[in-house]
Every structure is written in C-alpha cells, then in structure tokens.
Amino acid sequence: MERPAIWITVILFVASGLFVNVTFLQNKNTKTEQSTEQQSGQKTETTASSFEPKTFYKQTCNSCHGDHYQGVVGPSLKNLSKKYSQADVENILKNGKSGGMPAGLVPQEYIPAMAKWVLSLK
C-alpha cells in the first residue's frame, strides 16, 4: 500500500520548485530588459504608438459605456466631438468627472490617443 503523504510531499516539492523557477526567471527577464534599456537608452515598454484604444475600451470602459458606446451607467460616447474638445476629453480621462467617471483609468501616456479615438466615435 502506497503512502499518500509521500506523494503529496513530492507534488508539493515539485510545485514549489516550479514556483521558484518561474519567479526567478521573471525577475531575471525583468532585470535583463532593464539592463538593455539602460544600455541602449531606449524603453522596451509599450508605447503610445502600439496602444490600441478599442482594445483598452473593451477591457476597461465597456461595462459603463456599453459595447456599442451607447451608454449604460456612464453616458453614450457617440458624437462627443460635438460637445467636447480633445483637451476636454483628456481632462476627463485624467481627472475623472463627478457622477461616476473615476480618475486614472487610462494611463497618462495613453490619454491623448484614447481621447482622439473617443472623439472619433459616431
């Protein structure tokens, strides 16, 4: 008869080894990217040019503004260019708006691209 305690110990040992391995590999990769960035002077992070406002919207804004921008809890985003300027929308994205729009949902570096995209919605 096999002892379950031995198998449980083996499984826990293997799982903890995998956890440590993944943790150290992640830290090593992060340090390598930082070192490469420092040496080259270029950032390896996602830039505003690779930011996809529509994808970000689906992940972050969809629940309040609707899957067709029609508004649910938050207002409709269609035809906002008739009501707001680029600067107005950037300000709302940065600082939020009383009544429910929280500040800081969009990372600072992506605010101009997000505002431009929102203003293009018809």
Q: What is the CATH number of domain 51-120?
A: 1.10.760.10
Rounded to whole angstroms, how far apart are CA atoms 112 and 116? 6
Q: Is 99 exposed, middle or buried (0-12, 13-18, 19+ CB in 10 A)?
A: exposed
Q: How far, in whole angstroms, is CA 99 from its chain's centroid?
A: 23
pTM for the whole thing? 0.59
* Pick from 65, 46, 49: nearest CA to 118: 65
Task: Return the CA Rg of the chain.
Answer: 23
What are the domain boundaries of the chain?
A: 1-31, 51-120
* Higher-pLDDT residue of 41, 56: 56
Residue 43 scores a pLDDT above 50:
no
| Per-residue pLDDT reduced to its tens digit, 82-93 | 999 999 999 999
